[in-house]
Structures are given as C-alpha cells and as structure tokens.
Amino acid sequence: MTPPAKKKAPAKKAAAPKKPALGYPVKKLVVPAALKGVPNGKLPAKDLKTIKGGGTLYTTAAESFNAMWLAAKADKVTLNNQGDYRTYAQQLALFRARYSTKDAGRKPKVTRQFEGKTWYLRPGCAPCATPGTSNHGLGLAIDLDTRQSKVYDWLRANAPKYGFYLQGKPTKPDGKPNPEFEPWHWQKVDG
C-alpha cells in the first residue's frame, strides 16, 4: 500500500511591493540668462513655442514640457493645461478678478502689494502673482489639472526628470498649512 500523498501547503502570496512615498519636488526658479531684462508678460513671439495639448511656453520650457507630456501619455496619464504663458494684460485681469483692496475676511489671509496698496485674496479664490512678477509671464510655469491623484502622483514622481518642480510645499516649516501652495502649478526651473 502506498502512503497517502502529502498535501502541499498553500503557497503564500507575495506581499505587494510598497509604493514609495511621494514627496513634494520643490526647487527654486532660476531665470534663464536669455530672459534677463525681458519684461515679464512681454516675451517676443520668437521666444515662445507651442506645447502639446495647446498653449505656449518659453522655448526651452516648451521642449521639456512636450517631452514630459509624451512620457505621461505613454504611461496613460493625461496632462491637461489649465494655464501657460500669460501676457501682462492677462496677469492684470486675473489679479483684479481674484484680489480686492477690501478685506473680505478670507481665512487664511493672503495679501499682495500692488499700485501702492494692499490687495486681499477674495474668498474661494486661488492665489496668483502680482502682475509683472509671475513665472507664467516668463513662460516658465504651467498649471496642470491635478485633481486626479493618478496625474498628481505621476507628476510628483516624474516632473523633476524634465526640470519641472512645485514652487512650494503644502505646509510651512512650522507645520502650518501654506496658503500659497498650488499642487497644479509646475515651473521649469533649470533653463
């Protein structure tokens, strides 16, 4: 008589590899030498280039963005442009729509100095730069739709490979929320 066959122990499932924690890639903007002295929001047409998905950026920023856009597409991630190069007139219109010289009690309070006055960010509005100081006005920043975590996670993991970084972190060094943080705002910082 043959001994009964031993039952094999069920194979243990391999633990799924842990996803690395995504940080907030932040790097200080360095204005390219070719843009020094060019008025913010008044870039010559020769310095602007069309980007994938529509819009324009400064030439080298556009080239990097187009490469990033194609890489995202290959990973089945869509980078939707929500704001690219802004002329001075566009910056001024956006600023006047979002800020007022009257404090409407927004919490946290965000202010800008412009035309010799203090301007207060209106409740329900996202911050924008004072006209003439925006990195959108240099063609170095793009606002992307990051409401889907798949898009935001992809950018946090991959945008630095193309020279794009956030301009700040969600919290200040003291741990308090940073009212200036914009997860959609990505800037080309290295030329």
3 in any annotated domain = no
pLDDT in tens, 65-97: 999 999 999 999 999 999 999 999 999 999 999
Same domain, 125 and 141: no
Residue whose structure tokens are 């704001």: 83
5 in any annotated domain = no
Residue-range definition of the domain harbouring residue 69: 25-86+136-191
pLDDT score for 1: 52
Separation between Cα atoms, residue 124 and residue 82, nearest integer Å: 18
Same domain, 143 and 102: no
189 in any annotated domain = yes
**Is residue 132 very low, low, confident or very high in pLDDT (cuts 50, 70, 90)?**
very high
78 in any annotated domain = yes
- Check whether 17 has a pLDDT greater than 50: no
Q: What is the CATH number of the domain that holds 182?
A: 3.30.1380.10
**Is residue 6 very low, low, confident or very high in pLDDT (cuts 50, 70, 90)?**
low
Residue whose C-alpha is closest to residue 144's, from 152, 153, 136: 152
Same domain, 45 and 67: yes
Number of domains comprising the chain: 2
Which percentage of the chain shows pLDDT scores above 90? Answer: 80
Pull the structure tokens for residue 144: 């992307």
Tell me the pTM: 0.84
Q: Mean pLDDT across the stretch 127-152?
A: 97
Q: How many CB atoms lie within 10 A of CB 84?
A: 23
1 in any annotated domain = no
Same domain, 69 and 44: yes
